[in-house]
Structure 1
Amino acid sequence: MRPTSAAAWIAATAATALLVTGCGSTGQDGTPKKAAPGVDGQDIGARPLADLRQGGTLRLAIDQWITQYNVNDVDGQQGDAQEIIKTVMPDLFDSDAQGTPHANPDFLVSAKVVSTSPQVIEYDLNPKAKWSDGKPLSWHDFRAQWQALNGSDPAYEAADPSGYDQIADVGQGSGPHAVKVTFKAPYADWQRLFDPLYPARYYDSPAKFLKSWAEKVPVSGNAFKIGGTDKTAQTITLVPDPRWWGRKPKLDSIVYRVLDTSARPDAYLDKEIDYTSALLPEDYQRLAKAPDTDIRRGARWDEVHITLNGGRGALKDLRVRQAVQHAVDRQGIDEAFAKDLSFQLKPLDNHFFMPNQKGYKDTSGGYADYDVAAAKKLLAAAGWKDAGAGKPRTKGGRQLTLDYVLSAGSTSAQTDQAQLVQQQLAQVGIKVELKKVPANDYFNQFVNRGNFDLTSFRNVDAVYPSMLTPVFVQPRGRNLFQNFGSVGSPKIDALLKKAGETTDHAKASDLYNQADTEIWRLAHSIELYQRPEILAVRSGLANFGAEGLADVDYTKVGWVKK
């Protein structure tokens, strides 16, 4: 199970690790730092299925109890929910180590563009593919999902209408198991739509869309199904579905347990879970020496940032948000932590592309440069008066105060990051109050509702740049999509729409980077670093670990024969 994050397949997992970048060439033990893996870097302990025994349990940790299994609702965007759903619902496309999507033959005989003007996609469904209630997958499921997610009915409160809003019609294809999807305008990343697929009978009204998947999965359609949940013990158990038509899974069960990030190294060492992050130096030192443990490394699409909420309080003023950007010393934070890492990392100056991806360039335009004088000048221009060294600025009798919301399950490194930001902003007259909230409420009650001034979390696995569209488009009424800080503009919306319609990769990348320049100017969020994928995994666990840009195939995950 790979923790995921908040932007469109980026699920949202709580602000995780330590701020790091490639300063210095040796780790704390004096040995040379290892180079970061390439764009297709992964380490999953790959073994042929013949080497694996039948049976066994895989035990994994998750950040919070899953309250919503509809990943197209904002509360279902939490990364653990997304990973579980991809394991129990029809998963039409899977990415390889380079992030390239391929049709999953368990669900699709083929999926291809049959016309370019207009763009028409025909999906030929595997005739064996059925829902757990025995009904076959059909074009009706595609049509209901399109109607729920295209934005035409705001009652659905879809987390991400992008792509679906460019479809003109969905209907029966040329054969009994075929689906025909016709677009109004070309859509480059069409493979990311309808993946995962949901059944029409639990998706064809706003009430069903919002309520049918609350803490349950009424109908599944994959190799595994939910075998049981225990809210008291905070565990969710997946078991093989006897109706499954594909390759039989090796595992007897997958057990997910809610566990604070800070508690996971000890849980791993006590053999309560079978993998955990080994990124933090203090964790790495303990975990790397543990018996029967592999340290597996990969190059995942994984970024950590600080979101600024432009929808409330002082941060509604662009000048204040820009001042915050200038007051946060990204390089200083990096240098404070990176000296103990065993991994070479690069600073992150782009919201859409990782440094090891084609299309990456520095789009920050100087807006994220550490510049205390510029920050003070912007705050003064916004009417916030200097009250003297160490004191918050004031305006109309009010102090300039922001809250920084953290999960109570945060690691010490996450808290350290918040405290450093608190110290840095104090230097320009901004008082920051750290606010820890229950882990189960962090996303559902705070991040997803825009109930914060500052917060930090990860966006992960955005192998399609268009997956980030809902993070940066302007909210519509109560629906924030995934733009939790409500910072956007018509210019950004237009550029992202045009990029999504552009099938030439280089031209599309240029449009995303043009949009990113505006995103930095508006101080939507402060990019910090690309988080490395360094995991401690049980040595006998095969075909699982640091996946990089690839998806996990849980039918191939299992324990090596002894």
Structure 2
Amino acid sequence: MKSSIKKSIMSTTLLASAALTLVACGKPASKKVEEKFPYKTPVKAIKHGGTLKVAEETDTPFTGIFANELSNTAIDQNIASPGNENLFDTDDNYKITDKGPATQRIDKKNNTITITVKKGVKWSDGKQVVAKDLEYPYEILANKQTKSQNYSNLFENIEGMKAYHEGQAKTISGIEMPDGENGRKLVLHVKELKPGMEYSGNNYIWEKAEPYHYLKDVPFTKLESSDKIRKNPMYFGAFKMKKLVRGESITWVPNKYYWRGKPKLDKIVVSVLATNSASQAIKSKSFDVTQVINSQWEQVKKTKGVNFVAQIPLYYNFIGFKVGKWDAKKDRNVMDPNAKMNNKALRQAIGYAMNVDKVYDRYTHGLSFRVPTLIPKEYGDYFNKDAKHYSYNLKKANDLLDKAGYKKKGKWRVQPNGKPLTIRYMARVTDDSAQSTIQQNYLQQWHKIGLNVKLIGNRLTEFNTYVNNLEGDSHDFDMCQIGWHLDSEPSPSSLYSEDSPKNYTRFVTKKNNQLLKQMDSKKAFDHKYRVDKFHEWQEYMNEEAYAIPESGSYTVYAVNNKVSGYTLKPSETNNGRQLWYKVGFVK
């Protein structure tokens, strides 16, 4: 999955990035987006020149970590998109094609994956992207000195990765550069081929490169804080960074070595825009590309001089319950059987008390909506439409609590052992002005069933603090709202496995481990078998309620009608990222 803390917090990342009504390897997804909004701006002749102004709506300054292996927020990834390309392009089902900067070949007989960078794909200093630039990111991810949150046990399918991660080897034995570090070919020797490896976002193959010649002198301990990451990053995309105003804006100018062709624009300026200013910015045309805040749709939908384009991205929010901790020594999640939220009836009651449909109909005009499982329907037949989910039912919520021994003492219920019950809830500040109202509504709903749920600090948590609390395994919250922007390969292993640091609820069960292993096994090359295991996992997760699915949404952009070449169609993008060299102003 890609996401808002890329499977980043929004490579699955904590939330919010653009990528179209995505379809995984199964049956096509619904055409609902096409019916409501187009995927792209009208195609018109483009003139050269001009400055494109792009808004990045957020009420939190961007952290400015411009290395894919170290970045954990979609905000940083969004503002880096004019320069930051993936190695692979895909078709509309996100299957890797040969059209991108690199090609991939899977050898089922020898359990190898060969990645070859195309000649002429160059960094913005003119140097060819080489094999070492593809190998180096694996070192950044796996070396504990970098403290990367994007490392996953799934990478240990590569021979020698675990030994390197644990400091038992100085190199990764399963990564081969047959033509040397300066060749263009990288071979990954894997323990087992996985069914998702032909698709982008599979979490076994890293789809990024880093300029080794530029970064090699920076120690891993100082990489994240270095100027080469924070101020002067180097990419091989269409644009290179010219000016950075920390936390506020980035100016991009053409990369004269860009391999696909000369960009049409002279500049792209990406600026932070406060969410409460978004609707006015659209109406006044302050920017050429602005994301619509869903709760503000009614205010902007009649704006003239813009084209509205949209997608339903692979993204969802869920309510997660803290039931354990991350054991750094063992590199795995450990359940606490005595955790406050380690009671299934309590978790289920919280889910049934949430009036999700009513809330989003009222505050987002239908642009946000309930999701019934942790596998979005945009994944085609991997989505289990028949899985029992948490429709609004206060009576059922009360009955569950009564039977589980959560008796009322005055206004509030107490724990089965008779001790007071206060549930500390963490919800993040988002780009939607209705977020505070929606969260206050949920508090009222939980209060109706006698649960004393309180926002930590009595307010929404600032995004960077929220991320730190999740990653730092803070003891200050019992449950939280989490949002994921998912990868285009649907496996949930990197988010919910025993060995995943991003399993922020810290739940671990034998059944969950078994299902995750089965859906990513060699046997799962049989599509029906894999679909069956996905369906079983969704039913299991809904029943256990460690993570209760909440909402998904349209992502709508207001694009100046003088702009052409802006598209969200997967096969016309770089793995969901805008191909900015195609974008320009019409003649």
Letter in 2 for 1:186: L
Distance 1:165 1:71, change over 3 A: same
Structure 2 residue corresponding to 1:196, chosen from 208, 221, 229: 208
Partner of 1:180: 187
1:69 correspondence with 2:82? no
Equivalent residue letter for 2:15: T
Instruction: Tell me the residue number matched to 2:169.
Output: none
Counterpart selection for 1:47 from 17, 24, 43: 43
Deviation track 1:526-556 (CA, whole Å, cap 9, x = no partner) reads: 2123312333222122232655794321111
Q: CA deviation at 1:252?
A: 2.2
Find the residue that maps to 2:454 and give its secondary structure: strand
Structure 1: gaps spanning 5 or more residues: 17-33
Amino acid at match of 2:136: A
Report the equivalent of 1:262: 276
* 1:297 shift after superposition: 3.2
Alpha-carbon distance in structure 1 between the residues aligned to 2:510 and 2:439: 32
Q: Conserved in 2, the CA contact under 8 Å of 1:274 and 1:537? A: yes
Instruction: Supply the distance in 2 between the matched residues of 1:330 and 1:532 (Cα, whole angstroms).
Output: 24
Whether contact under 8 Å (2:135, 2:186) holds in the other structure is no
Are residues 1:433 and 2:433 paired?
A: no
Secondary structure of the structure 1 residue equivalent to 2:282: helix
Task: Give the whole-Å Cα distance in 1 for the aligned partners of 2:158 and 2:14.
Answer: 27
What is the CA-CA distance between 1:173 and the residue it aligns to? Answer: 3.6
What SS does structure 2 have at the residue aligned with 1:535? strand
Structure 1 residue identity aligned to 2:581: T
Is the deviation greater in 38-47 or in 78-87?
38-47
Matched, 1:462 2:484: no
Matching of residue 414 in structure 1 with residue 435 in structure 2: yes
Distance 1:437 1:278, change over 3 A: closer
TM-score, scaled to structure 2: 0.78
1:132 matched to which residue of 2? 124
Which of 64, 86, 93 is the matching residue for 2:88? Answer: 93
- 1:279–1:216 Cα change, 3 Å: closer
Larger mean CA deviation between 528-537 and 414-423 belongs to 528-537
Mapped to 2, the partners of 1:14 and 1:330 lie a distance apart of: 26
8 Å Cα contact 1:309-1:315 kept in structure 2: no
Shift in alpha-carbon separation, 1:286–1:56, aligned structure 2, 3 A: same
How far 1:514 sits from its partner (Å)?
Answer: 2.8
The TM-score, its normalising length taken from structure 1, stands at: 0.81
CA–CA separation in structure 1 for the residues paired with 2:418 and 2:482: 33
Corresponding residue to 2:97 among 99, 102, 110: 102
1:194-221 C-alpha deviation (Å, 9 max, x unpaired): 3222234637964255444653454322
Preserved CA contact (<8 Å) 2:352 2:394:
no
1:131-530 alignment runs, 5 A limit:
131-149=123-141, 156-161=147-152, 163-168=154-159, 169-173=174-178, 176-190=183-197, 191-192=200-201, 193-200=205-212, 202=215, 206-207=220-221, 210-212=224-226, 215-231=230-246, 234-278=248-292, 280=294, 283-311=296-324, 316-317=339-340, 319-320=342-343, 322-329=345-352, 332-338=355-361, 347-354=370-377, 357-362=380-385, 364-365=387-388, 368-372=390-394, 375-376=397-398, 379=401, 384-388=406-410, 390-393=411-414, 399-408=420-429, 411-434=432-455, 435-436=458-459, 439-451=462-474, 452-466=477-491, 468-475=492-499, 481-501=501-521, 502-530=524-552
Q: 1:541 to 1:260 in 2, by over 3 A?
A: same
Contact 1:406/1:442 (CA < 8 Å) preserved in 2?
no
User: Quick one: which amino acid aligns to residue 508 of structure 1?
Assistant: R
Query: Cα deviation per residue 1:76-125 (whole Å; 9 max; x = unaligned)?
Result: 121122234454244211344443333444x22x3212x20332122221
Deviating more after overlay: 352-361 vs 340-349: 340-349
Q: Are positions 1:36 and 2:35 aligned together?
A: no
1:12 is aligned, of 11, 14, 23, to 14
SS at match of 1:243: coil
**Contact 2:349 2:398 survives alignment (8 Å):** no
SS in 2 for 1:511: helix
2:582 equivalent among 551, 556, 559: 556
Instruction: Quote the offset at 1:418 in angstroms.
Output: 0.8
- Partners in 2 of 1:508 and 1:383 — Cα distance? 39
Match of 2:328 in 1: none
Compare 492-501 and 334-343 and name the one that shifted more: 334-343
2:316 aligned counterpart, secondary structure: strand
Find the counterpart in structure 2 of residue 532 from structure 1: 554
- Note the C-alpha offset of 1:426: 1.1
Structure 1 Cα separation of the partners of residues 17 and 427 of structure 2: 8
Name the CA distance, whole Å, in 2 between partners of 1:315 and 1:81: 38
C-alpha contact 1:365 1:517 (8 A) present in aligned 2? yes
Cα deviation, residue 525, structure 1: 1.9
Call closer, same or farther: CA 1:133–1:230 in 2, change over 3 Å.
same
Secondary structure of the residue that 1:537 maps to in structure 2?
strand
In the alignment, the residues of structure 1 paired with residue 539 and residue 396 of structure 2 have an alpha-carbon distance, to the nearest angstrom, of 19
Count of residue correspondences: 526
- Match of 1:519, SS? helix
Q: Deviations over 1:39-96 (max 9, x none)?
A: 9985211426x434433223221433124223333xx121122234454244211344
Query: 1:298 touches 1:533 (CA, 8 Å); kept in 2?
Result: yes
- Measure, in 2, the Cα distance between the counterparts of 1:42 and 1:458: 25
Query: What CA distance in whole angstroms lies between the structure 2 residues aligned with 1:342 and 1:369?
Result: 19
Deviation at 1:294, TM superposition (A): 1.8
CA contact (8 A) 1:537 1:545 kept: no
Decide whether the 8 Å contact of 2:134 with 2:208 is kept in 1. Answer: no
Distance 2:466 2:354 in 1: 28
Residue 120 of structure 1 corresponds to 112
Query: Matches of 1:39 and 1:498 in 2, distance apart?
Result: 37
Aligned equivalents of 1:392, 1:545: Cα separation in 2 = 52
**Separation of aligned partners in 2, 1:536 and 1:327:** 36
2:566 is paired with a residue of what secondary structure?
coil
- Cα deviation, residue 493, structure 1: 3.2
Measured in 2, the distance between the counterparts of 1:336 and 1:437 equals 18
Preserved CA contact (<8 Å) 2:5 2:14: yes
CA RMSD of aligned residues (A): 3.7
Task: Work out whether residues 469 and 496 of structure 1, in 8 Å CA contact, stay in contact via their aligned partners in 2.
Answer: yes
Give the drift of 1:185: 0.5
| Structure-2 separation of matches of 1:516 and 1:235 | 41
Using a 3 Å threshold, how does the CA distance of structure 1 residues 414 and 545 change in structure 2: closer, same or farther?
farther
In the TM superposition, residue 292 of structure 1 has moved relative to its aligned partner by: 0.5
Give the 3 Å change call, closer, same or farther, for CA 297–444 of structure 1 in structure 2.
Answer: closer
* Cα separation, 2, equivalents of 1:470 and 1:492: 13
Identity %: 18
How far did residue 397 of structure 1 move?
7.5
Contact 1:60 / 1:254 at 8 angstroms: preserved in 2?
A: no
Task: Indicate if the aligned counterparts of 1:58 and 1:251 stay in contact, CA closer than 8 A.
Answer: no
Structure 2 Cα separation of the partners of residues 255 and 503 of structure 1: 44
Aligned residue for 1:517, secondary structure, equals helix
Q: Give the distance between the partners of 1:344 and 1:210, measured in 2 at CA.
A: 37
Inter-CA distance 373–118: structure 2 relative to 1 (3 Å threshold): farther
1:464 Cα deviation after fit:
0.8
- Inter-CA distance 84–279: structure 2 relative to 1 (3 Å threshold): closer
The letter for the 1-side match of 2:532 is D
3-state DSSP of counterpart to 2:409: coil
Counterparts in 2 of 1:52 and 1:45: CA distance versus 1, 3 Å: farther
